[in-house]
Amino acid sequence: MSSESPAHLFEDDSQMLYTTMVGVMMAAIFAAGFHDDVDRTITRLAPEGTNYPFPQETRHHAAKLTSAIGGFLLGIFFWTLLNKLRWEIIRQLLKYRDWLYSPRSYKTKCWFLALSMLVPRKKYLYTFQHVLPHYPLPPLESTCKKMLQTIEPLVTPDELQEIRKEVKEFMNNEGPMLQAILEKRERSEENWVADLWDKYAYLVSRSSLLFTNFCSNSAIEKSDLSPCKIRLQSARAANITYHHIRFYQMVANRTLPPLLVQNLVPICCHRYRYIFACTRLPGLAMDELKTYDNPKHIIVIRKGVMYKVGVYGRDSSGNESILSPRELQSIFQDILDETDDIADTQWNPSVFTTQNRTLWFQEREKLLSNPLNKLNLSDVESALFHVSLEVENPKNLGEEAWHNLCGGGFNRWFDKSLTCTVYPNSAAGGNIEHTTADATMASRVLEYVWANSKYDADGNAHHPSPSHPIINAPCKISWDLEGLKPQISRCLANHQQMSSNIDMHAMKLLEGKGAIKKCRVSPDSFMQLALQLTFYRLHHKTPKTYETAMTRFFKFGRTETIRTVSMDSVAFTKSMDDASYNRSDRLKHLKAAMTHHNKYKLDAMNGRASDRHIFGLYVAAKFAGVAPKLFNFKVLTDYDQLSTSQSPYQFEKEQSDKLNLFPSGGGFAPQTDDGYGVYYLFLGEDRMTIHITSYRSCLATDSARFGEQLRVAMDDIKQLLRNK
C-alpha cells in the first residue's frame, strides 16, 4: 500500500486553516507587542565584546521574524495538543456500546451529539483505525452461562446435565488457566482473536475451498428482478475490470471513504487490503495468506487458456494510468476471438486449487521445481484479480450462482482472493476466497462497479480519456504439465463429483422487509424464525444454526455467531402445527423467540456472544497441551446444520443513488452433509432474493423443497402477526 500523502496529516481543511490561523495570530502578537523585549534579550545574550549580529536597520525585522517563527511553532504545538485531545475523546466515545441497545435513550442522544461534533468532515479509508475499540474478552463465567443457554434447546435433559457438570469442572480446573492465556493476548494484541481466527478457522483447514469460498451474482433490474440489460461480453468484462481496478486504487492510496453506521459510527476497514492482489497459498499443515505490492496485471481465463493481461499503460505525456474501458474491451475481444475455435477446454493447474489443501501443496511443489511453471505461478498468484470469460449462459439465477461457486475445474483459481465471471449474455458475478474478506466488503465493491459502469449507444464500454498509444498484447501462459496429467485427471473427476453434489436454488420475491415491518417486528428476526419453522416442518428436529454478525465496530473485527435457536424458538416451531396450541400461545412463543434473537444479535455485534470466546479457549488449550473434556461434546464441535447469512444491499449513498439495478446476492455451500446454506438479501422495501444450497447425496434435503416451504412459513408467520 502507498504511504499517506502530506495532506493527510490534517484530517480536514478546517484543521489546516485552524493551524495557520493560530500561527499567524501568535506571530502577530509577538511581533507587535514584544519585539522590543526580544531585541533587548538578543542583545543581552550576545557574547561579551561582540556587536549585535544584525545591523541597526534590520534589528526590528529580525526580531519580528524570530517572533513569527516562535509563534508559528507555538501554534503547531497547541494544534497538535488539541488534535490529540480531540481524537482521544473520540476514542473514549467509541467505547460506548449501549447505543445499539438503547438508540433512543437520552444518554445515547447526547453521545451521538458529542460524536457528531468531533468527527471530521473529510474522511479517508483509515481515518478512524487508530481510535477503534479493542475487541473485548468476555468473563469466563459469562461465556459458559451463555454457551449453556445456546445448547440447551439442542440436547436432551440428560445430555444437558452431563454438559453442565463438565462446564463446572472446566471453570474450576482448566478454564481459568486458558482464560489467563487469552487475557494476556488481550493486553498485548489490538484484537485478541483476529489472527487466531484467520489461522485456525480458515488457514489450517485441509478441506477443499469449494466448501468455504462464496459467490456473488449479476445485478438485476429493480422493477421485476429480471436479468439486467444484455451487453457485449467483452464490454461487460471491460467495465467490470476497469472499475475493480479503480476501487483497488482507492484502497491503495487510502482515498476510499470509510463506512459509517448511521453516517457517524466507524467500522474497521483493515480487510480491504486483502480483496485485491492477494492469494491463499497452500501449505503442508497450514496455508498462508499473501499480498503483493502494486501488481500491474490481471489473469484472464477462457476455455482453460490463461492470459497475463497488463492493465496499465502510459499516455502521450508519459503518465501511467489504467487502460480505458474501451481499450480493455478490445483486449477481451481479442481473447474471445482467439479462443473461439478451441473445441475442448485446455488443461491447467487450476483444478489442483479445488482439492484438499495438502494435496495441492504437494502438487504446487512439483510445479515450482519447473522454471517455466514457477514463473507462471508467480504471475497467476500475484495478479490483481482474475477474470473468467465463460462459454455457456446460465439458465436462471440459481444456475448462475452454481457456476460462479463451482466453476468447471479449469476456470477458477480458488486460492485467488477474487475471480470475476462474465457470461456471453453479459451476466457477471464472482468467486471470493473467504479467508480474505467477508460478504459485506465484496458487496460494496460490486456496488461501486455496477454504479459506475457506462456504455455507449452501441453497447460498447464508455471510453473516457486519456488513451494510450501503446498497449501490450495479452501474454498467453503456457504450462509444462508433463508428468502431472494423471493427477489432473483424478482431481478433475473429484471436483466434478463434489460440484455436482451441490444443489443450488435461488428465489426472487416481489415482497420484502416493508411488509414485515408493518407487522412491527425485525425483518432479520422474522427470517430467522421462518427458517427455523421451515427446517422443523421438513425434518421434525431443531438444527444447530449459525447466523453471521458483524464485529467491525472493533479494530480488526470480522464476525461473530448469532445463535438463533432458543427454548422459545423450539416452542414456537412445535406449536405452529400443533392443534393443542391457540393463536395467543403461538404468538407469545414467536415474540419471545424474536426478542431472544435480537438481543443475542446485539450481543454478538458487541463482542459479548460466546462462540469466538469458546473458540479462543479451544485454541489456547491446544497451545497449553491440555484437553478439557468439555470440548469433546459433539454439540460444541459439530458444524452447523443450518448456516445462514445476509448483508446490506446499499453501502455508499453516493454510489447507490447512481445505480438503477439491485444486487442479486450469492451463495455458499452447507457446512454439514445433511444441512443447508441460506443467504437472503432484502432489496429495498418490497424485493428480496434467497439462495439455498444443500447436498444431493443426502436424500433428506432438497434446496427447492426447502425454498417452497420457506415461502409457506413466511406467509404463516405474517398471518399470525397480522391477526394478533
> Which of the residues are catalytic?
434
Phi then psi dihedrals of residue 282, to 5 deg: -70, 145
Looking only at Cα atoms, what is the longest distance across the chain? 112
Three-state secondary-structure class, residue 605: helix
Q: Output the CA torsion sign for 22, 23, 29, 32.
A: negative
Number of other CB atoms surrounding residue 250 within 10 Å: 16
**How far is 500 from 523, CA to CA, in rounded Å?**
33
With beta carbons less than 8 A apart as the criterion, state whether 718 and 516 touch.
Answer: yes
Q: How far is CA 441 from CA 183, 418, 485, 558, in A?
A: 30, 12, 37, 11
**How far is 630 from 169, CA to CA, in rounded Å?**
9
**C-alpha neighbours within 13 Å on the C-beta side of residue 623:** 15
Q: Taking phi first (over 0 means left), then psi (-120 to 50 degrees means alpha), and beta for anything else, what does residue 512 get?
A: beta
**How far is 664 from 667, CA to CA, in rounded Å?**
10
Question: Residue holding cell 412463543?
Answer: 589
**How far is 438 from 647, CA to CA, in rounded Å?**
10
DSSP per-residue string spanning 649-710: S---HHHHTT--EE---EEE--SSTT-EEEEEEEETTTEEEEEEEEETT-TT--HHHHHHHH
Q: Of 368, 448, 354, whose CA–CA distance to 405 is shortest?
A: 354
**How far is 246 from 450, CA to CA, in rounded Å?**
12
With beta carbons less than 8 A apart as the criterion, state whether 132 and 552 touch.
Answer: no
**How far is 291 from 285, CA to CA, in rounded Å?**
20
Q: Of 587, 557, 548, whose CA–CA distance to 571 is shortest?
A: 587
Chain CA centroid to CA 609, Å: 20
DSSP per-residue string spanning 516-562: HHTTTS-HHHHHHHHHHHHHHHHHSSPPPEEEEEE-TTSTT--EEEE
Chain CA centroid to CA 414, Å: 17
Q: In what order do the strands lie in the sheet with 297-302?
A: 475-477, 305-310, 297-302, 386-389, 418-422, 428-432, 214-216, 666-668
**How far is 381 from 415, CA to CA, in rounded Å?**
8
**How far is 646 from 548, CA to CA, in rounded Å?**
7
